[in-house]
Amino acid sequence: MRIAVPNKGRLHEPTIDLLERAGLHLENGADRKLYADTVDPDVSVLFARAADIPEYVADGAADLGITGYDQVCETGVETVEELLDLEFGRCRLVLAAPEDGDIDGVEDLAGKTIATEFPNITRDFFADTGVEPAIVEVSGATELTPHVEMADAIVDITSTGTTLKMNRLAVVDDVLSSSVRLFGREDVLEDPKVDEVRTALASVKQAEGKRYLMMNVPQDRLEAVRDVIPGLGGPTVMDVANGEGEKVAVHAVVDERDVFETITDVKNAGASGILVTEIERLVE
């Protein structure tokens, strides 16, 4: 099983970090290499440009791919399927035009010129609107094109909107919302290893923002403690060794933002020996 991942750029480090946290430690490093083995002898990693990963998966050079949803949409490959939203690398593709210009809506772009690094996504967007502008593909510095009279508007990626504001561009419409996803080729989806990889990555995402609480509780205060513990279902209750039946151990998974108040609440309800730990992975 080969997983294609971004070889550089803003998606590279978060992707490698996610694989490591999921237990797929890279055995021989990632620097300046095309391939890397993992601790699982059946799983290896292929490093590629984020934009090329959908084609690598579709053509069989890799079985799974981790890259932006926008890259998959731009390539238009039809033989890959989304398996999991990894919820990082979030961005939007937007239609933007000079803020002091006369373009206020999509309809104002009929017969105009649009510059973009995403010509296929842009064509699909305008096909749904019935407006027919000329689309010019550029390979960088898209936000400059309206100011050098190469284009009347652009379709480009934005995360915070800062670059658009710096270049005096205003959003006219949203084109696409994107984040990093796990994709797989259709003919490998039944392979058990695919589900293993998906489950491993999902367990890391599910553990984010969660904490594990452990405490000792007198039997006669158990219901009071249960009533103040938020989280995933009810807490787990176990006998305490040598507790002679007077105390039980209570374990629970709670949201990190609830930990501060929960500790106070369970302590007031009678809990003691309270311990809070991070959760690396959570399989639901």
Residue 78, CB half-sphere, CA atoms under 13 Å: how many?
0
pLDDT for 32 equals 58
The C-alpha atoms of residue 73 and residue 176 are separated, in whole angstroms, by 9
Q: What is the DSSP string of 193-216?
A: HHHHHHHHHHHHHHHTTEEEEEEE
Question: Can you give the length of the chain in residues?
Answer: 284
CATH code for 2-90+179-206? 3.40.190.10
| Class of domain 210-278 (CATH, top level) | alpha beta
Per-residue pLDDT, 250: 94
User: Taking the CA of residue 264 as centre, how many other CA atoms within 13 Å lie in the half-sphere pointing to its CB?
Assistant: 3
Query: Which residue ranges make up each domain of the chain?
Result: 2-90+179-206, 91-178, 210-278
Backbone region of residue 94 per phi and psi (left: phi > 0; alpha: psi in -120 to 50; beta: other values): beta
pTM for this structure?
A: 0.87
pLDDT given at position 31: 61
132: three-class secondary structure by DSSP: coil
Report the 10 Å Cβ neighbour count for 140. Answer: 7
Q: How many CB atoms lie within 10 A of CB 259?
A: 15
What is the predicted pLDDT for the residue at 11?
A: 94
pLDDT in tens, the chain (284 residues): 999 999 998 999 999 999 999 999 998 765 657 899 999 999 999 999 999 999 999 999 999 999 999 999 999 998 999 999 999 999 999 999 999 989 999 999 999 999 999 999 999 999 999 999 999 999 888 999 999 999 999 999 998 889 899 999 999 999 999 999 999 999 999 999 999 999 999 999 999 999 999 999 999 999 999 999 986 667 889 888 765 668 899 999 999 999 999 999 999 999 999 999 999 999 98
pLDDT at 241: 74
d(CA 26, CA 140): 32
The residue assigned the tokens 């970090």 is 17
* CATH topology for the 91-178 domain: D-Maltodextrin-Binding Protein; domain 2 (3.40.190)
SS (H, E, C) 19-52: HHHCCCCECCCCCCCCEEEECCCCCEEEEECCCC
**Do 2-90+179-206 and 91-178 share a fold?**
yes
Closest CA to 47 of 23, 71, 66: 66
The strands making up 153-158's β-sheet, listed across from edge to edge, are: 134-137, 113-116, 153-158, 91-98, 169-178
Task: Please give the radius of gyration of the chain, using alpha carbons only, rounded to the nearest integer.
Answer: 25
Look at residue 213 in the predicted model and tell me its pLDDT. 95
Paired residues of 183 in beta bridges: 65, 82
